[in-house]
Structure 1
Amino acid sequence: MLVIVDMQARLLPHLDGAQRLTERAGTLLRAANLLDVPVLFTEQNPRGLGGTVESLPVDLRSAKVVEKHTFDATLEPAFVDALPPAPATLWVAGAEAHVCVLLTVLGVLRLGYRVEFVADAVASRRAADRAVAIERARQDGARLTTVETTIFGWMGSCRHPRFRDVLALIK
């Protein structure tokens, strides 16, 4: 399952690298849609921060959206209920890397999930906070990965029937 944390309209403009984050998360989402990878979004206090940005290719028919008011999404029962059974692998991306993304990653690790921290699809207000979040996630048991590694891992082979469609997303 792909977990996209707090990619919200009033938060993104304040992030270092927000445009790159949106592009990388968009690529992940397009690939997830093509490859039937389930997607779960979180929205931190959407009344204050707005909903998920409209520029992301969200298929609301298949994606789940969980409203939360905790920084660690695992403290929201609706989030935990939306997850597949542990020890499934969760690919996690979003904002802010050092707050909601990291705390959610630590929470799902405690619940017994395997975590792939998509390092080129996270952002924070300050680059130093993002760097610390990536290192902390790694130290605590998340595996670091990138958007392209994730997508090629989901396909597994150049013989995948959607290979050409997915390859077009990356080029």
Structure 2
Amino acid sequence: MTTPARGYFRAAPKVSPYERVRDFARVQVRAGLLNDDALLAEVVSVVAADLPAEDPTTAAAAILGLVRVELLAEERAWGSPTDHERLVAAFSALEQEHVIVLQAVEDHWVADAELRRRAAAGQATVGVVWFTAPDVWHAVDHGMLELNVWHPDTANVAPGEPLL
């Protein structure tokens, strides 16, 4: 007789549709990738899908208001420079060294196209650093932004190489 397996798979706690929408809005606000109109439109579409009993625009505006207030409260405790300020400074330094920096791009094809465009224009390029919007969303919750670093031929830069 075999004993049923227990404890091997942990189920995530159940999250209400409202909490899912709120978390989506929180991540989008903190990511800072969308302007106000685009942000509202994104959250409205999620509210319409996940909270069908709610007025999408009213609920989205209220949820965005809540998550913005929370963010502002946290910002008061942040030191200077912030992680974002350090990241912006690092990207600026890379660009001074002829490294292309592509922020929140759709996918690797964007990086490839930019490398090809610059090569065709005869522009000196040491490499490219790029990341996608989902990389930023992950960073919001996990405190680490995954960057892709390529040589001009699109080969990944390996540990120990000068570009790193």
Query: Taking structure 2 as the reference length, what is the TM-score of the superposition?
Result: 0.24
Tell me which of the two structures has the higher relative contact order, counting C-alpha pairs closer than 8 angstroms and 6 or more residues apart. 1
> Which structure shows the higher strand fraction?
1
Query: Taking structure 1 as the reference length, what is the TM-score of the superposition?
Result: 0.24
> Which structure shows the higher helix fraction?
2
| Structure with greater Cα Rg | 2
